[in-house]
Amino acid sequence: MAQRAVKKNAITSDGIRSGFLSHLTHTIGRPLEFSSMVERYHALSHTVRDQLMEQWIQAVESYKNKNVRVVGYLSAEYLPGPHLMNDLQALDATESCREALVSLQVDLDDLAREEPEPGLGNGGLGRLAACFMDSLATLGVPAIGYGLRYEFGIFRQEIRDGWQVERTDKWLQFGNPWELPIMDASFEVGFGGRTETYTDDSGLVRWRWIPGRKVRGVPHDTPVPGYRNGFVNRLRLWSAEAVDSFDLSDFNAGDYMGAVRQKVESETISKILYPSDDNDAGKRLRLAQQYFFTSCSLQDMVRLHKLQGKPITEFHQKWSIQLNDTHPSIGIPELMRILLDEELLGWEEAWEITQATFGYTNHTLLPEALERWSLPLFAALLPRHLEIIYEINERFLDRMRNRFPGDADRIRRMSMIGEEGERTVRMANLAVVGSKAVNGVAELHSDLLKQSTLRDFYEALPDRFSNKTNGVTQRRWMMLANPPLSSLINEAIGTKWHTDLWELRELERFVSDSAFLERWRRTQEATKAKLSQYIEETQGIKTDPQSIFDIQVKRIHEYKRQHLNALHILSLYCQLKGNPNVTFTPRTFIFGGKAAPSYVMAKLIIKLICTVGDLVNNDPDVKGRLKVVFLPDYNVSLGQRIYPAADVSEQISTAGKEASGTGCMKFQMNGAVTIGTLDGANVEIRKEVGQDNFFLFGLTTQDIDQITQKGYRPQEFYERSSKLREVIDGLSEGRFSRGDREVFRPMLDQLLNVDPYFLLADFDSYTSTQAQVGAAYADAKRWNRMSILNSARSGKFSSDRTIREYCSDIWKVPVPSSSGAPKNTTPNPQTKRRSK
Ligand SMILES: *Cc1c(COP(=O)(O)O)cnc(C)c1O
């Protein structure tokens, strides 16, 4: 039925052509021949958005009246990537669009290049939220993605003399044709002030909050289309405005500057994304941002709930809210405040509704990365919420004292208020207690959460915990990013994999078909050649598409160990210098990723990579067999060029540090083979592809626990390994940095004395496994087989599977079957050990 409806509304080339010309005239105000590329891009985007709006309104109508539960996904970050090509693909209109533009001598790809990408996130967490939005719409699940409309997203990265330089991201400077401000759905959000009690009509004592100031939140909605199913959800991002742009009393009193200052202060809330991917931007403004978007979102959900004439006591039946990390966990006391102070419910009832509404996804094990707010700061900004948190805490700890009598340490650890040193509010503890479900993002991570970071809570509330292994959308990361490979797969096994990635298993039929193996290889080589061309154009570095493309792209962080990769390259370099005629499989190492601006060691890692690049790219003894490229400003668009071109995927974090990782999945589905540790989703990738198709190395989490207990001495590993000494000594003596002995000193000191991420302990294992990678690549048939099997066995890692699991286990929302989506959820043996 849905199928026929789409056909009926099929988007024709003529329709696009007239829409495009009309928008050029009426929206942009330019004749075609005098219009710039940006103007044409805007006209086309409006044309596409028109198509989405019709479906959007249909979708809203279809679920507004029915008794369906809606998912509210709360995330401080979204990295959706460019919309144009994705939305055309979803509408099945790419070809008619291309045709329409050709008839006007305009090239679609030229226009697509004009789109700035919304950089409203730092890395994996924000990209996950975007993949989830794509899957929700494709599965036909009604959902609203709520977040912040940062005026300046993640900084643009430039590299000067090997060092990262940050530039402002002005993604909105030419306007954003994809969003629609919804002025009449704006809300006021309070900050500061005081609370007071009063007696209501029935003689009950009640609380109310008298905020010291207010800020207005205005929603900007971006349509999120499902894949060819006529369904459109929305991404609703809040922008902060002054409540009144001029405070007339100030103005009349002659304080013009004071009135303007208030406006500016209000608007700073949605000005800028904090460029740290691991929290602890312990900033007052960041807490204000979190409360601002969470409060707007909850007020919006309550409004939509009431529009349907539903009593507030049924709120949890209409809405399921997911907290993407603790950033929106202030939503728990905020919903309590709304229910208690505004809806005048009693505590017990309010708490039942609140707890039945929220689910919390944890994204980190690192205790230092769990969000905590200084108590005085919190009290000053959100006094009423602090009172509510105290009450939640008291009631919870009373229960726990009954459960664990005499265990004062445990009670102290579980408290929402940290008492060690400065008093703090512990957001993870609040999130666990206030949610019906808590999940980790990969099997290993969920297990470790239960054993370490959230152990006390797991022991008290075992049924609340589960795992939801992350996934990514194949529609962006294969179909959009890698058209040649997608066509080859379509030809071989049909197109069901577009909405059911398990279908890729059908590719296994071809692993012994040498003609197919050869086509697979040629397709990948063509993709590598394209990246090679991009590298030459942008970096002026020549690379050989026949060499191994060995790629590590992700945020720069010590735990992700880009410097381990760099040390290995230096070791290869030493090998070539020692014997220039050694047989050697040529390799191109490609890096990309941003460092948090204040993270000194991460910036030094970038400098190291660039220094190694300067060294090996220009040394005649290397004879072009080693190339090292750092591609600046890694983002979704660049990722779409890079993931498809990889032979080798570097997933080399210290075991136990990467919660899941999703980059690993994007590489795998495009046929790259992983070299990795037993960390995050690597464990599950290896389980799916089989140990013969995965290059495993390094310490396990258990090994690391043992070494740590005995006392880890990195010096010993340095003394034991001649290869490692050669590299470390060379760096120390300035042999790789034109005689500069000081530049990498802080890194070397840290590695030799502390090495918190166990690089030296893992170095030998890593380099010998890399040697196996080189040998395997030299056997083209073996490699092609491994590559196909990696792609064929990536079905589990579609975000469609992840979202189905959230829908059935946490949100309790049905997945409509008319979406053309697959029926089989995970054939995952892991789901049975639940009751305990
Ligand atoms: C997928 C993705 C990430 C996450 O990469 P990991 O390897 O999982 O850390 C970060 N940034 C961008 C732009 C991505 O597309």
Q: Is 769 a catalytic residue?
A: no
Position with higher pLDDT, 817 vs 393: 393
- The active-site residue out of 361, 662, 767, 769 is 662
Q: What are phi and psi of 764, to 5 degrees?
A: -65, -40
Average pLDDT over residues 77-83: 98
Is residue 581 over pLDDT 50? yes
Q: Give domain status of residue 696, yes or no.
A: yes
Q: Give domain status of residue 402, yes or no.
A: no
Q: What are phi and psi of 733, to 5 degrees?
A: -90, 5
Structural domain boundaries, residue 779: 547-795
- Nearest-CA residue for atom 15 of ligand 1: 636
CA of 126 to the centre of ligand 1 (A): 9
Is residue 246 over pLDDT 70? no
Whether ligand 1 lies within 6 angstroms of the CB of 588 is answered as: no
Percent of the chain with pLDDT over 90: 88
Whether ligand 1 lies within 6 angstroms of the CB of 124 is answered as: yes
**Nearest-CA neighbor of 330 among 305, 358, 306?**
358
Average pLDDT over residues 758-786: 97
Sign, CA torsion 85/88/94/99: negative
Percent of the chain with pLDDT over 70: 94
Sign, CA torsion 219/224/230/231: negative
Give bridge partners of residue 440 from the DSSP assignment.
467
Whether ligand 1 lies within 6 angstroms of the CB of 554 is answered as: yes
Give the helix, strand, coil percentages of the chain, each rounded to 5.
Answer: 55, 15, 30
- The active-site residue out of 49, 528, 666, 785 is 666
- Give the pLDDT score at 222: 97
Sign, CA torsion 90/95/101/107: positive
CA distance 658 to 463: 24
Is residue 416 over pLDDT 70? yes
Tell me how far the alpha carbon of residue 499 is from its chain's centroid: 21
Is residue 705 over pLDDT 90? yes
Six-digit token string for 326: 């603790």
Q: Give domain status of residue 758, yes or no.
A: yes
- Give the pLDDT score at 54: 83
CA of 425 to the centre of ligand 1 (A): 30
Q: Give domain status of residue 610, yes or no.
A: yes
- Could you give the C-alpha distances from 251 to 216, 246, 248, 498, 559, in angstroms and in order? 20, 7, 5, 59, 53
Is residue 67 over pLDDT 80? no
Q: Give domain status of residue 173, yes or no.
A: no
Give the model's confidence band at 823: pLDDT under 50 very low, under 70 low, under 90 confident, else very high: very low
CA distance 312 to 705: 49
Average pLDDT over residues 671-686: 98
Tell me how far the alpha carbon of residue 83 is from its chain's centroid: 16
Q: Is 521 a catalytic residue?
A: no
Six-digit token string for 819: 């979406």
DSSP for 374-414? EHHHHHHH-HHHHHHHHHHHHHHHHHHHHHSTT-HHHHHHH
* Predicted structure pTM score: 0.96
Q: Is 341 helix (H, G, I), strand (E, B) or coil?
A: helix
Average pLDDT over residues 246-266: 71
Q: How many domains does the chain have?
A: 2
Identity (one letter) of the amino acid at 742? E
- CATH code of the domain containing 610: 3.40.50.2000
pLDDT tens for residues 306-336?
998 999 999 999 999 999 999 999 999 999 9
CA of 130 to the centre of ligand 1 (A): 12
pLDDT tens for residues 621-677?
999 999 999 999 999 999 999 999 999 999 999 999 999 999 999 999 999 999 999
- Could you give the C-alpha distances from 701 to 656, 690, 704, 760, 829, in angstroms and in order? 6, 20, 5, 16, 23
- Nearest-CA residue for atom 3 of ligand 1: 124
Is residue 510 over pLDDT 60? yes
The pairs formed by 165-170 with CB atoms below 8 angstroms and a separation of 24 or more are 166/275, 166/597, 169/119
Atom number, ligand 1, closest to the C-alpha of residue 593: 11
- Could you give the C-alpha distances from 298 to 238, 301, 335, 816, in angstroms and in order? 12, 5, 7, 26
Whether ligand 1 lies within 6 angstroms of the CB of 363 is answered as: no
Q: What radius of gyration do the chain's Cα atoms show? A: 27
Is residue 818 over pLDDT 70? no
Q: What are phi and psi of 24, to 5 degrees?
A: -60, -45
Nearby residues of 799 by Cβ (< 8 Å), 6 or more positions away? 128, 131, 132, 134, 135, 470, 471, 472, 473
Average pLDDT over residues 419-447: 97
Task: Share the mean pLDDT of the chain.
Answer: 94
Q: Give domain status of residue 641, yes or no.
A: yes
Q: Which of 117, 132, 158 is the last residue of a domain?
A: 117
Is residue 247 over pLDDT 70? no
- Nearest-CA residue for atom 6 of ligand 1: 663
Q: Is 588 a catalytic residue?
A: no
Position with higher pLDDT, 401 vs 251: 401
Q: Give domain status of residue 165, yes or no.
A: no
pLDDT tens for residues 5-64?
444 457 899 999 999 999 999 999 999 999 999 999 999 999 999 999 888 887 777 667
Parallel/antiparallel/unpaired status of strands 358-361 and 372-374: unpaired
CA of 703 to the centre of ligand 1 (A): 27
Is residue 781 over pLDDT 90? yes
**Nearest-CA neighbor of 353 among 420, 400, 305, 415?**
305
Is residue 354 over pLDDT 80? yes
Tell me the best of 276, 662, 675 to mutate to test the pocket of ligand 1, counting ligand atoms within 8 Å of each CB and taking the most.
662
Q: Which stretches of 421-537 are assigned E, i.e. beta strand? A: 424-426, 437-440, 465-467
Is residue 280 over pLDDT 70? no
CA distance 708 to 220: 50
- The active-site residue out of 23, 83, 228, 555 is 555
pLDDT tens for residues 147-170?
999 999 999 999 999 999 999 999
- Give the pLDDT score at 279: 64
Q: Give domain status of residue 344, yes or no.
A: no
Six-digit token string for 148: 């912040």
Query: What region, left, alpha or beta, does residue 612 occupy, with left being phi > 0 and alpha being psi -120 to 50 degrees?
Result: alpha
Average pLDDT over residues 609-614: 98
pLDDT tens for residues 129-144?
999 999 999 999 999 9
CA distance 529 to 543: 9
Number of Cβ atoms within 10 Å of the Cβ of 274: 19
Is residue 2 over pLDDT 90? no
Q: Is 363 a catalytic residue?
A: yes
- Give the pLDDT score at 710: 97
Is residue 3 over pLDDT 90? no
Six-digit token string for 536: 């030459």
Six-digit token string for 422: 């400065």
Average pLDDT over residues 369-379: 94
- Give the pLDDT score at 411: 98
Q: Is 666 a catalytic residue?
A: yes
| Lowest mean pLDDT across 70-79, 243-252, 684-693 | 243-252
Give the model's confidence band at 463: pLDDT under 50 very low, under 70 low, under 90 confident, else very high: very high
User: Which residue has 């397709």 as its token pair?
Assistant: 523
Is residue 534 over pLDDT 50? yes
pLDDT tens for residues 715-728?
999 999 999 999 99
Give the model's confidence band at 281: pLDDT under 50 very low, under 70 low, under 90 confident, else very high: low
Is residue 602 over pLDDT 90? yes
- Give the pLDDT score at 817: 64
Q: Could you say which DSSP state residue 795 is in? A: G
Nearby residues of 258 by Cβ (< 8 Å), 6 or more positions away? 247, 250
Atom number, ligand 1, closest to the C-alpha of residue 664: 7
- The active-site residue out of 316, 384, 560, 587 is 560
Q: Is 48 helix (H, G, I), strand (E, B) or coil?
A: helix
pLDDT tens for residues 167-218?
999 999 999 999 999 988 999 999 999 999 999 888 899 999 999 999 999 9
Q: How many residues does the chain have?
A: 836
Six-digit token string for 547: 């060499």
pLDDT tens for residues 545-554?
999 999 999 9
- Nearest-CA residue for atom 10 of ligand 1: 123
**Nearest-CA neighbor of 322 among 360, 362, 364?**
360
Q: Is 214 a catalytic residue?
A: no
